[in-house]
Amino acid sequence: MFARLLYESFRRQKRRKLLAAVAITLGVAVATAMIAVATDIGDKINRELRSYGANLLITPQEDTLDVEIGGINLKPPSDGNFLSEADLPKIKGTFWRNNILGFSPMLPANVSLGKGQEATLVGTYFAKKIAFGKEHFTTGVRNTHPWWKVEGAWPGDDSADVLLGDQLARKLGDHAGDTVEIGGQTHHVVGVLSTGGAEDGQVIAPLHVAQQILGKPDAVRRVYVSALTKPEDALARRDPKSMSGEIWDRWYCSPYAQSIAYQLQEAIPHSHAAQIRQVAQNEGTVLSRITGLMLLITLAALFASALAVSAAMATAIFERRREVGLMKALGAGNFAVAALFFAESTLLALLGGLVGFLTGSWLAHRIGRSIFDSQITIQPVLFPLIMAIAVIVTFAGSAAAIRRAVQFDPVFALRGDA
């Protein structure tokens, strides 16, 4: 009898059930999409923050002082120590290798450009293919320095082509496609580089060109590393030397800028690695503000959809006082009536929840695709959680209305005084 009542209720009141189900579906869809986006936004924004460029810098351990003003190197070129280019692939062999999005070595050299012009030439990787063990990856300034804009083409890493900074190009009157004489050798200018920084007055060349000019094969002056890091907290700020075993393990295995720098130092012989504080320190604040904002908005959205679902459920039950009156007049107890309504609510919640979850996942997917150009992962654990929330909210929304409906005198209900 109970099952038949339930079945008939759904069969005969399609419009009402549909309205309630639509409300639940929408509420659940928004809740799912918002939770999925809010849990994933930290990772997404962290990647976007990498557009500020490298956050770690590796330099030779026993280095002499840099004497550099406005990007012009005033130190004798062969002075100081160098890192070895052959060691660089080891960066991808560290514990947090998957967090390291790219690195660019730099090797400055002072060169004469003919016509009495002096300039700094910087050798680097543009998009170099590197192998470490079985892993292949591409790295260079094109991913660590995304604000570098080239008019013309990027040079190949194995070619002898160069880029001219736009101020230097203007001074020399050169354009992409011209040739430039560097230290007595002719090089093709394939593009003009604009960065808004010191590079605008420099020549940028593949690393081996700079090594050849300095006569130091395999030498690298410094390496910029772009890594996904975790915002700094109390543990990150502690001195690793003062940590005991367990805490040290936790520090070592957290992707703090400090611990990644520590591991880079371990991987590359005779090196010193440190965070570039301008980039690394500010990431944390911006990241926590944005994730905090999304979290609060998600809370507000959850609250709003819960209230909306409750209102819809209350309305749906309110409409059915006459039915309650009839059932009670025929001898149904309060418990039987309430049970029927709760069963209906649960069924609606499960149905609406399922459709809502699928819609919400799709929405989150679309948001990820269109805004961040990447997948938003939906944790499987979200499904039971969402279903539970849907059932609880629907229950809570119906409870007050069901109580009032059950308490209503059947005589009035049937007479139509509802």
Partner 1 sequence: MSATPQTPPSVAERRAAAPHPSMFLRMLVRAAIMRRGRAVSALLAMVVAAAVATAMMNLYVDVQAKLRKEFRSYGANVVVVGKAGGSLPPEALHMVESVLGGRGMAMPFAYVVARTAAGQSVVVAGTDFERVQKVDRWWSVSAWPSTAGEALVGMRALSAVSPDRKPFDLSFQGHTIHLTPTGTLQTGAGEDSRVYLAMPDFLAWTGVQPSTIEIAANGSSAEVNTVVNRLSQVFADADVRPVRQIVEGEARVLGKTRATLYASAILIVLTAQLCVLATLTGWVFDRRRDFAIMKALGASEKLISGFFAAEAAALGAVGALLGFVIGIGIAAWIGRVNFNAPIVPRLSVLPVVFAGSIAVALLSAVVPMSLLRRVQPAIILKGE
Binding to partner 1 (CB under 8 A) within 81-140 occurs at: none
Task: Specify the residue, 389 or 401, whose C-beta has the smaller distance to partner 1.
Answer: 401
Task: Specify the residue, 218 or 233, whose C-beta has the smaller distance to partner 1.
Answer: 233
The full length of the chain comes to: 418
Least spacing, CB of residue 346 vs partner 1, in Å? 19
- Among 213, 363, 389, 399, which residue sits at the site for partner 1 (rule: CB under 8 A)? 363
- Among 10, 13, 43, 48, which residue sits at the site for partner 1 (rule: CB under 8 A)? 48
By CB under 8 A, the count of residues binding partner 1 is 84
- 159-178 mask for partner 1 (x: CB under 8 A)? --------x-----------
Buried b (16+ CB within 10 A) or exposed e, 368-389: beeebeeebebeeebbeebbeb
**Hey, is 190 helix, strand or coil?**
strand
Exposed/middle/buried for residue 272 (C-beta within 10 Å: 0-12, 13-18, 19+): middle
Handedness of CA 334, 337, 339, 342 (dihedral sign): negative
The reply to whether 336 sits near partner 1 by the rule CB under 8 A is no
Task: Specify the residue, 52 or 248, whose C-beta has the smaller distance to partner 1.
Answer: 52
DSSP 372: I
Stretch that binds partner 1, among 88-96, 302-310, 330-338, 345-353 (CB under 8 A): 302-310
**Residues 245-274, interacting with partner 1 (CB under 8 A):** 274
Name the token pair of 206.
């593949």
Task: Specify the residue, 207 or 280, whose C-beta has the smaller distance to partner 1.
Answer: 280
Task: Specify the residue, 160 or 354, whose C-beta has the smaller distance to partner 1.
Answer: 354
**Residues 364-393, interacting with partner 1 (CB under 8 A):** 367, 370-372
Least spacing, CB of residue 310 vs partner 1, in Å? 8
**At 42, phi and psi to the nearest 5?**
-55, -50
Task: Specify the residue, 294 or 338, whose C-beta has the smaller distance to partner 1.
Answer: 294
- Among 36, 182, 227, 294, which residue sits at the site for partner 1 (rule: CB under 8 A)? 294
Stretch that binds partner 1, among 68-76, 83-91, 94-102, 155-163 (CB under 8 A): 68-76
**Residues 176-215, interacting with partner 1 (CB under 8 A):** 194-197, 200
Least spacing, CB of residue 78 vs partner 1, in Å? 15
- Among 101, 127, 243, 286, which residue sits at the site for partner 1 (rule: CB under 8 A)? 286
Least spacing, CB of residue 123 vs partner 1, in Å? 19
- Among 146, 152, 183, 410, which residue sits at the site for partner 1 (rule: CB under 8 A)? 146
Stretch that binds partner 1, among 43-51, 92-100, 154-162, 338-346 (CB under 8 A): 43-51
* Residues contacting residue 162 through CB under 8 Å, at least 6 positions apart: 121, 155, 180, 182, 187, 188, 189, 190, 203, 204, 205, 206, 209
* Residues contacting residue 388 through CB under 8 Å, at least 6 positions apart: none
Give the orientation angle of helix 277-318 with respect to helix 382-407, to 10 degrees: 30
**Hey, is 244 helix, strand or coil?**
coil
Cα separations in angstroms, 19 against 258, 259, 306, 404 = 55, 55, 16, 21
Least spacing, CB of residue 275 vs partner 1, in Å? 5
The reply to whether 23 sits near partner 1 by the rule CB under 8 A is yes
Nearest to 36 by CA among 390, 395, 358, 284: 358
Query: HSE (CB half, 13 Å, CA atoms) of 66?
Result: 14
Distance CA 387, CA 213 (A): 67
**At 118, phi and psi to the nearest 5?**
-110, 145
- Among 209, 219, 309, 324, which residue sits at the site for partner 1 (rule: CB under 8 A)? 309
Strands (E), 228-362: 271-275
Stretch that binds partner 1, among 61-69, 110-118, 183-191, 383-391 (CB under 8 A): 61-69
